[in-house]
């Protein structure tokens, strides 16, 4: 068969076949990325062909922490401006996850009805994606020592983000307060570079990776020669509000998002949304942006609050020392029954030694009621060194969760969990309460 004829054949069969696989996999109760893997194999040009036609192009959100919630914020901010947005809501941030989400959004002829695509992508898989589909926009959040058994040393992760920026054809949004991310600007040629940042009074609340590893009395890590101006600056954080500086003024908005790290990422989301809408007061409805930002709910498992037996049950995703530290700071233990679920599956990162870089003193007053997950005993040993009382250790998540709910009846509950533990916990909770289904 001539090459052109083969391409046409793949074009006509890939979408129907992918949609069929998607339907079958959903009937079998899972496999959200399988249809994407199928279409990638039989039609490698599917994503590029579909996404490059969008009027506002593609925006990629990547970095070690905060991708899911930040992507959710950007989507809702853009929708407040009347744009139709395609995104990979499943949280599957590999290229096959994007392809699978596309299969659910396109019609049977492969046409996507959207103005812009905002895609959360794992750092390594983003490199493969941008080689095929150069984004018009990219937002690079941070570089932290997360899953080093997958990506190698931290400078390797920075190189992955550098490649994403290099392939971006329009605007690159960078975290001014993360030296490894901010320095990416030095090597870019032709791209519009914008920053999001923090007021100096908040810098100690959001330490970058080097800050966390500087011993007392040691010289501080080298900073940028001069701090660049930021498009959006987070200036203050309240219990349920935040203030941002941009366009020469300060605005305050209520926030449904919880967790100080989510509030910082709101500055990132505002910067990207403003860039896509044109970047100025004349091209974006800023009142609508702030209203939308104040309404954003936590992404699943990222400070998500469910109701069990009439009491709140919060799920707090933890992936690395910075995330766990900020989680403990953002969600005080007082008045809550606490459970910690630590897995070491591939998606979590296999090396859990980072638990020793987290201080658990804040859990001393009430202790931890249940420990679970494949690394429950490692977590138990870590807590013992911080003199934190432990109620029970049960590596199997389902019975541990059942015991936690039963024994803490009548109390608000909070679970700190790694990624795959969070998925398992949500599956169990879906049997007894309303859990958002992400499809």
Q: Which two tokens stand for residue 78?
A: 């853009």
Q: Which two tokens stand for residue 408?
A: 């803490």
In whole angstroms, how far apart are CA 381 and each of 320, 350, 432?
A: 17, 17, 32
**pLDDT higher at 314 or 320:** 314
- Cα distance between residue 289 and residue 429, in whole Å: 33
- Cα distance between residue 48 and residue 14, in whole Å: 14
Q: For position 24, what pLDDT does the model report?
A: 47
Closest C-alpha among 21, 68, 185, 122 to residue 438: 68
Three-state DSSP at 14 gives helix
Query: How much is the mean pLDDT over the chain?
Result: 83
Q: What are phi and psi of 226, to 5 degrees?
A: -145, 135
Residue 118 backbone zone (phi > 0: left; psi -120 to 50: alpha; other: beta): beta
Degrees to nearest 5, angle at CA 74 with 68 and 76: 105
pTM of the predicted model as reported, rounded to 2 decimal places = 0.79
Return the residue matching tokens 């979590």: 348
Give me the domains of the chain, ranges plus CATH numbers: 46-295 (3.40.1190.10), 302-429 (3.90.190.20)
Digit-coded pLDDT (tens) for 145-183: 654 444 456 788 889 999 999 999 999 999 999 999 999
Digit-coded pLDDT (tens) for 89-148: 755 556 777 877 787 777 767 788 999 999 999 888 889 899 999 999 999 999 876 544
| Radius of gyration for the alpha carbons in the chain, expressed in angstroms and rounded | 22
Enumerate the β-bridge partners of residue 192. Answer: 171
């Amino acid at each position: 068969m001539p090459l052109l004829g083969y391409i046409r054949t793949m074009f006509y069969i890939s979408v129907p076949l992918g949609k069929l696989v998607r339907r079958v996999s959903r009937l079998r109760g899972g496999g959200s990325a399988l249809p994407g893997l199928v279409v990638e194999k039989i039609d490698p040009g599917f994503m590029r062909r579909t996404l490059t036609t969008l009027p506002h192009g593609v925006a990629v959100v990547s970095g070690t922490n905060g991708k899911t919630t930040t992507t959710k914020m950007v989507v809702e901010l853009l929708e407040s401006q009347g744009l139709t947005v395609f995104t990979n809501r499943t949280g599957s941030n590999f290229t096959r996850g994007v392809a699978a989400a596309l299969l659910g959004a396109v019609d049977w002829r492969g046409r996507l009805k959207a103005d812009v695509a905002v895609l959360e992508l794992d750092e390594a898989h983003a490199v493969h994606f941008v080689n095929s589909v150069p984004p018009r926009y990219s937002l690079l959040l941070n570089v932290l020592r997360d899953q080093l058994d997958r990506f190698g040393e931290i400078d390797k992760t920075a190189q992955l983000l550098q490649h994403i920026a290099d392939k971006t054809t329009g605007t690159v949004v960078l975290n001014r307060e993360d030296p490894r991310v901010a320095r990416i600007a030095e090597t870019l040629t032709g791209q519009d570079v914008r920053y999001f940042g923090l007021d100096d009074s908040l810098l100690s609340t959001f330490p970058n990776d080097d800050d966390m590893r500087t011993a007392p009395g040691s010289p501080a890590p080298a900073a940028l020669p001069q701090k660049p101006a930021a498009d959006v600056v987070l200036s203050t954080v309240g219990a349920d509000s935040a203030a941002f500086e941009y366009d020469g003024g300060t605005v305050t908005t209520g926030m449904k998002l919880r967790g100080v790290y989510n509030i910082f990422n709101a500055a990132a989301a505002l910067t990207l949304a403003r860039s896509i809408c044109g970047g100025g007061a004349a091209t974006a409805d800023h009142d609508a942006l702030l209203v939308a930002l104040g309404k954003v709910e936590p992404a699943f498992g990222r400070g998500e609050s469910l109701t069990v037996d009439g009491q709140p049950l919060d799920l707090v995703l933890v992936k690395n020392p910075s995330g766990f530290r900020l989680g403990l700071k953002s969600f005080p233990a007082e008045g809550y029954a606490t459970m910690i679920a630590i897995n070491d599956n591939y998606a979590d990162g296999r090396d859990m030694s980072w638990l020793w870089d987290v201080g658990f003193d804040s859990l001393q007053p009430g202790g931890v009621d249940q420990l679970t997950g494949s690394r429950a005993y490692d977590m138990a040993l870590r807590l013992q060194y911080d003199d934190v009382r432990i109620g029970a250790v049960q590596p199997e998540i389902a019975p541990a969760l059942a015991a936690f709910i039963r024994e803490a009846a009548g109390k608000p509950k909070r679970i700190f969990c790694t990624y795959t533990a969070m998925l398992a916990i949500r599956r169990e909770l879906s049997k007894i309460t309303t859990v958002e289904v992400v499809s």
